[in-house]
Structures are given as structure tokens and as C-alpha cells.
Amino acid sequence: MNRYIVAITGASGVIYGVSLIKTLLKRGDEIHLVVSDPACLVMQQELGWTLDAPPQISLRHYFSADNLFLYNNADIAAGIASGSFITDGMIIIPCSMSTLASVAMGLSGNLIERAADVMLKEHRPLVIVPRETPLSSIHLRNMLTLSDMGVAVVPAMPAFYYDPESVEEMVAFVVGKVLDVMKIPHEEFRRYK
């Protein structure tokens, strides 16, 4: 069993994060989940989820699993904010441009940013799935900064060579690409032959 931190931020495409979490939980991995307040709003808009205050508690209803641990993004004293909390990596999916910029600049104003900063300083795998278009020069510079530090930048860009028949299949492709980068075996999509 592996241990991963997964963060969902307030960018469109929260379904990518939800799908990744479900896949990892099904594998039996231990997931430490942080969802930003803006991401909770996007979950309500895009998924129709009802999230009462505090929303992190309500998320348990949608992810009922013993191997899932939920955190408040304001709790910068949580265990995952420490380098002594050993994980196999962190994925921010989707990653807002605000979070991406904060991580690139080394800011630690909330738990997501601090956990990402820990991944960088401890040289552990960090994957960021930006979800924005078009990209400004600032966005691109921030992505290059992170890439130069060893962060895997996996934009949410589904492929079409395998003739996807549903949105779920296109989501699975992006999730599969994230799993590939993390070297996690999967069968999320049909590979190119």
C-alpha cells in the first residue's frame, strides 16, 4: 500500500481529482486529501454535490473509505505539512493558476501550498495538473519554474486517438497519464499501438 497526498483546488475539472482519488482508493492506497474552499464551490457547481460547513466533513459522504484522511486547507499544522510525514508523492489535480503560482514561488499560505513545498524540499514526486486555457506568459513561466525543479506538469489534455465515447473515458485518460508519471500501474485507458 502506498501513501499519497491529493489536493483539489478551485479550477474547473474537479472530476479529474475525484476520479484519481477513487482509483487510488480502489487500489488500497492511503490517501491524504486536501480540498480548498474554492474547490468545494466548484464541486457543488460541476458535480452537484451538497457540501455543508465545514465542507471537508461532508466529503466523507462521497468518498467512504477507511484509507482516506481529510484535512482542512487552513490547518498548516497538519501532519502532511511536515517533511517527517513520509509519502510516495503528491498530486494537485486540478491545479488552479493561483496555487501553481504559489507553489512556484515557494509560498506556504495554506496546507496545499505547504505540503507541495515539503515535496519540493524533500525531493519527493509532485505532479501538478493545470486546468486553464489559454495560458498567459506568467502561467507558462510558473510551469517552467516548477518543471525545472523536477515537478511533473501534466495538463488536463485528453487524447482522441483511442476514440473515447464518453466524458468519463476522457477523464480516465488524464488520470491514467498522472498514474503513468507516478509509475502506478493501471488500465485507465487503451494505449496507443
Binding residues: 10-12, 36, 96-99, 131, 161, 177
* Beta carbons within 8 Å of 92's beta carbon, 6+ residues apart: 6, 7, 8, 9, 99, 100, 103, 112, 116, 126, 127, 128, 129
Q: Within 10 A of 139 (CB to CB), how many other CB atoms are there? A: 17
Cβ-contact 126, 40 below 8 angstroms: no
Which residues contribute to the annotated binding site for dimethylallyl phosphate?
161, 177
Binding-site members for FMN are 10-12, 36, 96-99, 131
Q: How many residues appear in the chain?
A: 193
Cell of 112: 496545499
Among residues 160, 166, 94, the alpha carbon closest in space to that of 131 is found at: 94
CA angle 19, 92, 151 (to 5 degrees): 125
State the sign of the Cα–Cα–Cα–Cα dihedral 102, 106, 110, 115: positive
